[in-house]
Structure 1
Amino acid sequence: MSDDAPVLVSELPAASGAVGMLTLNVPRTLNSLTLEMVDLLQDALDRWRNDDAIRAVFIAGAGEKAFCAGGDVQALHASAVKNPGGPCDYAEAFFAREYRMNYTLHSYPKPIVCWGHGIVMGGGLGIMAGCRHRVVTATTRIAMPEVTIALFPDVGGSWFLNHMPCGAGRFLALTAANINAADALFLGLADRFINADRRDAVVERLLAQPWTEDATANHGLVRHLLREFEAGADELPPAQVQAHLDTIRRLTDGDDIHQVIDNILALDTDDKWLAKARDALAKGSPLAARWIDRQLEQTRHASLREVFQAEVVLATRIVRHPEFAEGVRALLIDKDRQPAWQYENSRAVPESVLDGFFLPPWPQNPLADLR
């Protein structure tokens, strides 16, 4: 595969067997995912699953700035405006195949190490969350900023956000708040904090492992290896979520979503992190805030399989709706930051309109075959 491929796929000989290497390779777009990249990842993962020579997989991003800043939203926007109301062929294929790839990562039997350095947003977080061994560094910056463009925290967000403590998942989903390595460890989005300059050494040690044909034993080898590379707790950046957990719990403790939104918007604070979160919700789509909340509520007790099947319904409905196209236009295309949202606030959203986003738009779910 050429060095300019959007995903570099290679197999490095190890002391026993080989390690599959996947590198997201579009640093100029912060490694934002396209449909081609999703398919390259899926093809490699499918091939290596049944290849006895491949003992483990290592996923990283090219460049120093980002592991992956999410999906290529401009391509999704182009698909949405090409056929308003849908079907939006490219965007809908992207979501269905991206979620299938995410599910593959979550259910993969072999060890997968994700090097989550730099920006990890949206689809990038979906990849990292699905891997068994997730590494963050001092520069890791995580967010799911979908409320600002009228999307929702997908790629399994309905699963991992619902498993966070004290309303933190709902708060992050509604406010697009940025979190760091310390937060990722606290919230269960990462497993190890390792200094960025140790990446090559980690790969070298992976190649030197005495791999066996027992996947469970190989997971143990990876845990032991990464544990040896962990940096000290004193090197972690200051935590945001844990430090504000009491406030987050109070803000999200509303009788309904309207009260939760009111609580956040009414927050009077000099704390920069909380203020930025409040302001992001204030500028975001009220309609999106409603479907974000509904999605989290409806998948609260869902299996991972059911989560992705529900997410593809909502994503398909959203990309066919003009709110998404307007959000992307204002933030990323024209960059005027003046979106003309359809509703003034959350209470103005008719329940019948909200209900429509959760109705399957096709006779059979494209992810019905997930096992």
Structure 2
Amino acid sequence: MTQVVNFHELNCDNGKTIAVITLNSPKSLNALSADMIELLYPKLKQWQTQENIAAIFLQGEGEKAFCAGGDIVHMYQAMKKLETQENSDGYSSEVIEYFTKEYQLDYLIHTFNKPFIVWGSGIVMGGGLGLMVGGSHRVVTESSRIAMPEINIGLYPDVGGSYFLNRMPDSCGLFLGITGASINAADAKYCHLADYFVANDNKDAFIKLLTQLDWQESSKANHESLTNLLLSFEQDSASYLPDSKLKEHKALINQVTSFDNLNDIVKSILTAECEDKWFNRAQKSLAHGSALSASIAYRQLQVGKSLSLADCFRMELNLSAKSGKFGEFVEGVRALLIDKDNSPQWHFDSVATVDNKVVDWFFESKWAKEEHPLVNLGL
């Protein structure tokens, strides 16, 4: 059986080692499965304390995707199983366990004590962005296509979205969070999801030079050496960088998101006149997506503004557990990936009709503070 994650170590000229991780499920666009997470977390914990490891390099197998998201088909099956179980409280232990371990992995990457390079080429969505955004050196290429498209499956922008969407310039985070709009490499750099742009053809040369760097015992010195190397590659790749749609439509995005309530924001986005296909796709995604998801995302970003990264993940685990119970998530996955009829029967027709009590319920913690599965995160 093929290993879903491949690990190998590259020997450097000065005796240090680069640890290379390859997500190895190209047929699923390297969707992040529970098996992948089970392999990744202990290996990273081991490498964090291994003195000869100078840096981590994380990539996806194949040309199409780094990682297209979480394994939501498996979660759909877990949620459907509950429907036939008597005396169930409606919460899927499988769904909760998956998200718990995924967020622990994401947090480990965010707080890793060595340079952590993520090669984010091709599709980087949902759970894939959760893996990428925590890296210390996040690389995008001309093929990068990045999104948090959870509104299309009745979920919400998780994997730390409460934290990183709030740290984007202007109103980019809110706009991307409620529309699920797809962005390119230039957009990713502009909104702080990526650090460097390197053309795909330069990947092998970059890895070769990684092994020739003069790696030190000091993590700070190693970060600086790696940064300088990537900046030199970025200069050579500049002619491949696409135009940023977020920059181009900055004024319009600020205008349509300038209201103090979600109903007016959604109305403004949907009625905005713009002949750009990228903006029009964002409008269609919002119109077709879950109004409940948009409402949760809006509240999530408001609450997340004042939270630490660990507290964001704790809030999101609660939201994910509730999403597994409520039914919007299972219906969204059914329509998009199971029956593929693309006609989800959402609970609410529009954000104006979303019951605030339902949104409140999502934000009421399922667990007492000391019983939360992520109670020790960040401690």
Short-chain TM bin:
over 0.9
Return the TM-score normalized by structure 1.
Answer: 0.97
Q: State the shift of 1:94 in Å.
A: 0.9
Q: State the shift of 1:268 in Å.
A: 2.6
Which ranges of structure 2 fall in alignment gaps of 5 or more residues? 84-88
Q: State the shift of 1:361 in Å.
A: 1.6
Q: State the shift of 1:93 in Å.
A: 0.8
Helix, strand or coil for the counterpart of 1:87?
coil
Match of 2:64 in 1: 65
Match of 2:8 in 1: 10
The whole-number CA distance in structure 1 between the counterparts of 2:268 and 2:144 is 29
Match of 2:74 in 1: 75
Q: State the shift of 1:296 in Å.
A: 0.7
Greater Cα shift, 207-216 or 96-105: 207-216
1:102 pairs with 2:100 = no
Q: State the shift of 1:80 in Å.
A: 1.3
1:225 pairs with 2:229 = yes
Q: State the shift of 1:234 in Å.
A: 3.3
1:242 pairs with 2:247 = yes
Please list every run of at least 4 consecutive aligned residues from structure 1 whose deviation after the TM superposition is greater than 3 angstroms. 231-234
Q: State the shift of 1:239 in Å.
A: 1.0
Q: State the shift of 1:235 in Å.
A: 2.1
Q: State the shift of 1:11 in Å.
A: 1.7
- Give the percent of matched residue pairs that are identical in Structure 1 and Structure 2: 42
Contact 2:154–2:329 under 8 Å retained in 1: yes
Residue by residue over 1:114-159, the C-alpha shift from the partner in whole angstroms, topping out at 9 and shown as x without a partner, is: 0001000001111110000011100000011100111111111111
Match of 2:376 in 1: 369
Match of 1:23 in 2: 22
Helix, strand or coil for the counterpart of 1:324?
helix
The whole-number CA distance in structure 2 between the counterparts of 1:234 and 1:55 is 31
Match of 1:252 among 257, 262, 283: 257
Match of 2:86 in 1: none
The whole-number CA distance in structure 2 between the counterparts of 1:41 and 1:202 is 23
1:87 pairs with 2:91 = yes
Match of 1:304 in 2: 309
Contact 2:91–2:322 under 8 Å retained in 1: no
In the alignment, residue 9 of structure 1 is paired with which amino acid? Answer: F
Match of 1:328 among 333, 343, 361: 333
1:35 pairs with 2:34 = yes
The whole-number CA distance in structure 2 between the counterparts of 1:327 and 1:333 is 9
In the alignment, residue 347 of structure 1 is paired with which amino acid? Answer: A
Match of 1:115 in 2: 119
Q: State the shift of 1:38 in Å.
A: 1.0
Match of 1:280 among 257, 260, 285: 285
What does residue range 206-221 of structure 1 map to in structure 2 within 5 Å? 206-221=210-225
The whole-number CA distance in structure 1 between the counterparts of 2:290 and 2:54 is 45
Q: State the shift of 1:362 in Å.
A: 2.6
* Matched residues, number: 369
Contact 2:151–2:293 under 8 Å retained in 1: yes
Residue by residue over 1:283-316, the C-alpha shift from the partner in whole angstroms, topping out at 9 and shown as x without a partner, is: 0011111101111110112111111111111111
Match of 2:128 in 1: 124
Q: State the shift of 1:232 in Å.
A: 4.2
Match of 1:149 in 2: 153
In the alignment, residue 338 of structure 2 is paired with which amino acid? Answer: I
Match of 2:320 in 1: 315
The whole-number CA distance in structure 2 between the counterparts of 1:174 and 1:255 is 15
Greater Cα shift, 226-235 or 97-106: 226-235
Match of 2:355 in 1: 350
Helix, strand or coil for the counterpart of 2:365?
coil
1:360 pairs with 2:365 = yes
The whole-number CA distance in structure 1 between the counterparts of 2:214 and 2:377 is 33
Match of 2:141 in 1: 137
The whole-number CA distance in structure 2 between the counterparts of 1:183 and 1:17 is 35
Helix, strand or coil for the counterpart of 1:19?
strand
The whole-number CA distance in structure 2 between the counterparts of 1:255 and 1:71 is 32
In the alignment, residue 3 of structure 2 is paired with which amino acid? Answer: A
What does residue range 186-197 of structure 1 map to in structure 2 within 5 Å? 186-197=190-201
Return the TM-score normalized by structure 2.
Answer: 0.95
- Going from structure 1 to structure 2, the CA distance change for 1:204 and 1:234 (only over 3 Å counts) comes to closer
Match of 2:176 among 169, 172, 178: 172
Contact 2:199–2:237 under 8 Å retained in 1: no
Residue by residue over 1:235-265, the C-alpha shift from the partner in whole angstroms, topping out at 9 and shown as x without a partner, is: 2112100100100000101120111111111
Contact 2:185–2:242 under 8 Å retained in 1: yes
In the alignment, residue 149 of structure 2 is paired with which amino acid? Answer: P
Helix, strand or coil for the counterpart of 2:59?
strand
The whole-number CA distance in structure 2 between the counterparts of 1:300 and 1:228 is 35
The whole-number CA distance in structure 1 between the counterparts of 2:255 and 2:150 is 23
Which ranges of structure 1 fall in alignment gaps of 5 or more residues? none
Greater Cα shift, 260-269 or 139-148: 260-269
Match of 1:53 in 2: 52
Q: State the shift of 1:14 in Å.
A: 1.5
In the alignment, residue 76 of structure 1 is paired with which amino acid? Answer: M
Helix, strand or coil for the counterpart of 2:243?
coil
Helix, strand or coil for the counterpart of 2:352?
helix
